[in-house]
Structure 1
Amino acid sequence: MYHLSLHGSNTDSDIYIGSGIFSQTAKHIAEKFQPTRIHIVTDSNVAPLYLEQLRAEFPIGVTTTVIPAGEEYKTLDTVAGIYADLSEAELTRSDLVIALGGGVVGDITGFTAATYLRGIHVCQIPTTLLAQVDSSVGGKTGVDLPQGKNLVGAFYQPELVIIDTDILTSLPEHIFNDGMAEVIKYGCIANPDILNMIAQPDFKSNMQHIVYECVRIKRDVVQQDEHDTGLRMILNFGHTIGHGAEKVGHFTELTHGQAVAIGMVQAAKLGAKLGETDYTQQITEICQAHELPTQLPYPIEEVYAAMLHDKKRAGDSINMILIHPMGKANIHKIPLEQLHTLLTAE
């Protein structure tokens, strides 16, 4: 088992990564918190698999909210429903909310915890690869608006993250592959050894170490730039164009990982147009090896229009993350007019 600490501005996160540690959740919670009530938020996919097992670990009362699965439910209406359940359960600021699920559940629950009673304790238990290597760590929470992805949110560090890599064996192949997009991202921006690891035929036997390497990179970046004003932007490699594609697809036609894979390839093409080393073929081949799409399925004009609502836009420019060399990410502030020209050029 691995243990990492993330020292945030207002709280420290303890992150445990290991095989079979889901069954140790109650022990780790007792070491960290003293709640009189616990509320678990999960979704309709995860609840039948893990909810009762988790509830049974606790000697105190546990209440639950089960939300519909899917990015299209990552809305303020869903948050309002969780608020109502927390109020009915009479949770106080000394009590605990647990996010049990993938990235959507983690983002919604984190935002709810950040804003209910102006802040309540939260523990993340990510059940997808994407959530384990990325969204459960670092304190970014939020929900989508019709205008774009994650436009309402807060920085709110979970005090405890339990990452059980055994859970990955229960994932459908397409959900596992979805998370591989974020793993590939970490290899591109910080540690090319990750790309070598996932190129091995038996890489799934090494998932505990792969997950650890990704989380370690994110921990190191977030500790230097918790609120996403500088270095943390490199974690958005593939996300700016990817989020635009997700929006054009109404958050239902592409998964987040699929959109990020497409976005990374598009960012590589953009880097080549700006005179950087062209990693388009290398990233394309890595993504395809893990059954991720690499072609933009929508007109670039529509994706560009969606990108104009991205959080990384600043006035008449937008921050794009480019790779040079492989394993090192660079932040490029590109004027919108130039970006439009580059994206639409053959």
Structure 2
Amino acid sequence: MASAPVSSAAPQLSTTAPAGHSVVPIDLGERSYDILIGDGLLKAESFAGLPRSAKALIVTNTTVGPLYTAQLRAAIAPLHQQVLDVELPDGEQYKDWPALNQVFTKLLEEAADRKTVLYALGGGVVGDMTGFAAACYMRGVPFVQVPTTLLAQVDSSVGGKTAINHPAGKNMIGAFYQPLRVVCDIDTLDTLPQRELLAGLAEVIKYGPIADAEFLSWLETNLDLLLARDRAALRHAIQRSCEIKAWVVGQDEKESGLRAILNYGHTFGHAIEAGMGYGAWLHGEAVGCGMVMAADLSARLGLIDEATSQRIRALVERTGLPVQGPDLGADRYIELMQVDKKAEGGEIRFVVVGPLGQAGMRGAPDAMVRDVIAANVR
């Protein structure tokens, strides 16, 4: 493949904190930080050691804010003289300039300075926009990720990718900007709608085919427990996902090569999201379907056998995620995928699997891509 594959023996990186919570470190030199994973983490101890400041701003949305803003405010109050908050509208369709400007407006109205700390309290949309706002305001202020969805806890809150969407392409306007800490309180998943839980499981599943075949087997065995929100199963899935992502990001922070494998399923998935209109499909739903299409492409390229492709499809389907994409037309799919960040000179680059537990990047013949689309849309 065009990029080096990831070993199926991705290392275990976690240590155990004194209170029994897991800590996954991300090694990025002076930008290194920890991911805290456990129950009941919205308390002062989880934020100890973070910068003190006159002001802090909690960025959340209208769904999550009423549930957890007061709890987070109490947890970080010892660090800041004043804790402000702003609630953004909820939904992928609001991951745009007008919503981002609400954050900037609040910061400016409150005379926030360069030491003001931003806290992203919510899912992937809130986390991405808060990080982008932090990267831009006064050319950079500190921020902390407090993800409240499974998808954000296992993927979007980790690694420093921040962005907003454009009608022509998802996440095309943004910056790499690392948080000071990621605090994954599993308790917040209690209020997560089931559809959102399933969407998050798509991002969990992706780590098996690209980096850890044993983890894929574990997911197949324990899927029913995950769907039932078994605490021990969720904690293991979150921890292993974060370990793999931390390992990859530690080697390739700004996606110059290896990190692109974390976008398995995303090339097709982003096309679905943009083609249907942001918010019609949840990000994880589109990624789940995209993984099925990418597995089919991998099989057609001779990188995995058909049985492995069907194995990935079966797990996605068992999870309750879509395994057939919307019929946008092959030309529209290709047009949207050509805007993907991995495209080079107009050539679409796909994350493909082969063998199981390893992944890489490569192009594919146009006719083959069209065959994949035709076989996997309804």
TM-score above 0.5? yes
Contact 2:154 2:204 in 1 (8 A): yes
State yes or no: 1:185 paired with 2:206: yes
Contact 1:144 1:151 in 2 (8 A): yes
Tell me, in whole angstroms, the C-alpha distance in 2 between the residues paired with 1:344 and 1:44: 37
Q: Tell me the residue number matched to 1:121.
A: 142
RMSD: 1.6
TM-score by length of 2: 0.87
Tell me, in whole angstroms, the C-alpha distance in 2 between the residues paired with 1:272 and 1:299: 23
The equivalent position to 2:86 in structure 1, one of 53, 62, 65, is 65
Tell me, in whole angstroms, the C-alpha distance in 1 between the residues paired with 2:30 and 2:286: 32
State yes or no: 1:288 paired with 2:317: yes
5 Å-filtered alignment, 1:1-20, equals 1-8=21-28, 11-20=31-40
5 Å-filtered alignment, 1:21-36, equals 21-23=41-43, 26-36=44-54
Give the residue type in structure 2 aligned to 1:117: M
5 Å-filtered alignment, 1:116-265, equals 116-198=137-219, 199-200=221-222, 201-203=224-226, 204-205=230-231, 206-265=233-292
Contact 1:180 1:257 in 2 (8 A): yes
Gaps of 5+ in 2: 1-20
Deviation (angstroms), 1:271? 1.2
> Residue 363 of structure 2 aligns to a residue in which SS?
strand
Tell me, in whole angstroms, the C-alpha distance in 1 between the residues paired with 2:172 and 2:29: 22
With 312-321 and 126-135 compared, the bigger mean Cα shift is at 312-321
Deviation (angstroms), 1:338? 5.5
Contact 1:43 1:68 in 2 (8 A): yes
Q: Tell me the residue number matched to 1:53.
A: 71
State yes or no: 1:82 paired with 2:128: no
Note the alpha carbon deviations across 1:47-89, whole angstroms, 9 max, x for none: 1111112112314311111000000000012111110101112
Q: Point out 4+ residue stretches in structure 1 off by more than 6 angstroms.
A: none
Note the alpha carbon deviations across 1:93-112, whole angstroms, 9 max, x for none: 11200000000000000000
Tell me, in whole angstroms, the C-alpha distance in 1 between the residues paired with 2:42 and 2:329: 43
Tell me, in whole angstroms, the C-alpha distance in 2 between the residues paired with 1:9 and 1:236: 24
Tell me, in whole angstroms, the C-alpha distance in 1 between the residues paired with 2:283 and 2:373: 23
Give the residue type in structure 2 aligned to 1:211: I
Give the residue type in structure 1 aligned to 2:212: N
Note the alpha carbon deviations across 1:260-301, whole angstroms, 9 max, x for none: 011000011111221222333111110111110100112342
Note the alpha carbon deviations across 1:105-140, whole angstroms, 9 max, x for none: 000000000010100000000000000000000000
With 46-55 and 113-122 compared, the bigger mean Cα shift is at 46-55
Deviation (angstroms), 1:3? 1.1
TM-score by length of 1: 0.95
Tell me, in whole angstroms, the C-alpha distance in 2 between the residues paired with 1:165 and 1:81: 28
Tell me, in whole angstroms, the C-alpha distance in 2 between the residues paired with 1:318 and 1:113: 31
With 197-206 and 44-53 compared, the bigger mean Cα shift is at 197-206
Deviation (angstroms), 1:4? 2.0
Deviation (angstroms), 1:2? 1.1
Give the residue type in structure 1 aligned to 2:260: M
Give the residue type in structure 1 aligned to 2:246: R
Tell me, in whole angstroms, the C-alpha distance in 1 between the residues paired with 2:166 and 2:134: 19
With 236-245 and 51-60 compared, the bigger mean Cα shift is at 51-60
With 145-154 and 292-301 compared, the bigger mean Cα shift is at 292-301
> Residue 123 of structure 1 aligns to a residue in which SS?
strand
Contact 1:273 1:342 in 2 (8 A): no
Tell me, in whole angstroms, the C-alpha distance in 1 between the residues paired with 2:74 and 2:373: 55
Gaps of 5+ in 1: none
> Residue 316 of structure 1 aligns to a residue in which SS?
coil
Give the residue type in structure 2 aligned to 1:32: L
Tell me, in whole angstroms, the C-alpha distance in 2 between the residues paired with 1:132 and 1:294: 23
Tell me, in whole angstroms, the C-alpha distance in 2 between the residues paired with 1:54 and 1:340: 47
Percent identity of paired positions between Structure 1 and Structure 2: 41
Give the residue type in structure 2 aligned to 1:14: D
Tell me, in whole angstroms, the C-alpha distance in 1 between the residues paired with 2:106 and 2:33: 26
State yes or no: 1:44 paired with 2:62: yes
Contact 1:38 1:98 in 2 (8 A): yes
Give the residue type in structure 2 aligned to 1:281: Q
Corresponding residue pairs, total: 343
Q: Cα–Cα, structure 1 residues 303 and 345, in superposed 2: closer, same or farther, change >3 Å?
A: closer
Give the residue type in structure 1 aligned to 2:293: Q
